[in-house]
Structure 1
Amino acid sequence: MPSGLIALLDDVATIAKLAASSVDDIGAAVGKAGSKAAGVVIDDTAVTPRYVTGLTPDRELPIIGKIAVGSLKNKLLVILPVALILSAIAPWAITPILMLGGCYLCFEGAEKLWEKLAGEHEDEAALMECDDPGELEARQVAGAIRTDFILSAEIMVIALSTLDAQGFWLRAFALALVGVVITVAVYGAVGLIVKLDDIGLHMVKRGGSAGRSVGRLMVAGVPKLLSALSGIGTAAMLWVGGQIILHGLEVLHVAEALPHLVHDAAHRGAELIGFWVPVWQWLLTALGGAIVGIVIGAIIVAVLHVLPRRKTVATEGAH
């Protein structure tokens, strides 16, 4: 899927030649599908920790567990069957659906940038005003599962696109494994991240001198890490969304000059730098995708938020 996002593990044609009953087939297909969805996985991992904001430490892991269960239900009970049906009866629809999901990611990223620039944080303010811990928890879980649905759909459809040469049952089983493996990996990482400060406190109280020093660093560093992850999540939404749209334009042969421009600019820029060329090419390609994501996201934010608000203000002023 998104070109330049991550190297593919092997060729589609190689997987297609493997026998559908072989365990090696499943492993190769899962590895390929999971690697191709890695960009959205980064996004998912970076976005999720903010949903435990405002909750007591003893509820953090149970909340993440609830979100993980919701994520698995999203992937296995809704997205998997719909994706398989679409791939069988309307494969042409997969790329446009991916692009719609990419537009949503661009919107989410651009909306967060707009909120920071405008100093508006309506969702966070509403959560902080909630006095009932049970209601706060339910809101956080519901919000996380909604966001996860979009990210999970992107992961599963991107993964499915690498398996279209497989038999139906191989695709179904490989896609289910991708869903389970990615969910465990993402929410396992998220659980570790949000408990790092508790681990640090434990080391401060019970460790030796070296352990106490490391523990103090962990306690002091976790807020900065979570803040950095918030920024990484926003950037990932923009670059992944932008690259999905660029790839879709190329596949659909619509406005192909734009993805070619981004690719060529990244290639030439990396060659001009002259060292670590593959790394710079990846970074510049991601930057190009992020720029496209910002532009598309800004248009959607303007249509949904800024213009209606200005119209309302102008109407109220006239009265």
Structure 2
Amino acid sequence: MEVKDGSKEVMHEVQKADDESYLRDYERQLALSSKDNQEDWIDHCRELVIEYKKLAKNSKTCYEKKQGDIGYILSLNWLDHWKKYAYFNVMGNNNIPDFEESRPTQIKDIDNADLLIPKYQFVNEIDPKSHYNFVIKEDLRENVDYIVVDKDIWNFFHSRYGGEPLKRVYHKIYTFIADVETKFTRVNFVILPPRENCGSVDISQFYTIYSSMYDTLEELLVRIVTNMNSDQYGYKLQREKIKAWKFRISHSLLENTHRIREFVCSQDQYCFAIDSQSQQEQRTKSIIYETAIADPAECLEAVTYYPLSDFDFLSSTLIIEVLPEVSDYFTSNHEVTNTNTLIP
């Protein structure tokens, strides 16, 4: 008998449920029947608290972390819920808890959704599991809204409750100290058509992408090309056929659009370029254009090997110029709308 795709999915879900860890099932069974098994439940909670505190005490410090080590983000909302569930504060003082009706009797999967920017607000990676698809909100703070735990603590929770990991990488910032980069650098960018098409194509569409400040500009450009060539955006870009500029922005999206159009028309005549050897800004002025645009742009092609930490993208926009010889720079569906707007 032929098994339909829907049936396969159901069978997969059933198998997944059967494979849940013994610890997770045991703990939920105790929680659901806690009134009848209070002594067992108290012993179980005490074991949980003792094990968690032991793991936390043995966690490596920033002096012991190495370049490339992985940290795991944990929402403090979820952790506080777990502490109530396990009577963490009471158990920590070796007291016997009073069973409360309001106490959580179940813990759902580890959930960091309250920490994350909705994915529709920025350009996503083609790989759905990429850590660049999971961006922490810019106004949240470590140790206030979330904490970073090591693998042992993550496994302690994940083996019991499940959930998707939110990983971050440690980087050496000094000789003896490694720091975890919890938040990524926001880069707003716009794709400019070849100059002969600049008058007929809407260039007011701004996109947002997030990247590590330790990534080089070249790595970011490759990611932009790869992601914008996906079906969602429909471009057909080539890294060797684009030029990157940094353009200072204002608070007005309309004003930025006007200034960028002005830049497109005058970029050959008046711009700032960066010399790859001296790194000195050199101004070139055309005989034709006597008036410069309000904020000249910087060509970044000579410094793409620099890390993003060297660029001020909070007050500037990355312009991806498609070179004139690339006439077919997008497909017929390039007008796929994106809700991104320029964030000043």
Shorter-chain TM-score range: under 0.3
Q: Name the structure where strand makes up a greater proportion of residues.
A: 2
TM-score by length of 2: 0.22
Q: Name the structure where helix makes up a greater proportion of residues.
A: 1
TM-score by length of 1: 0.23
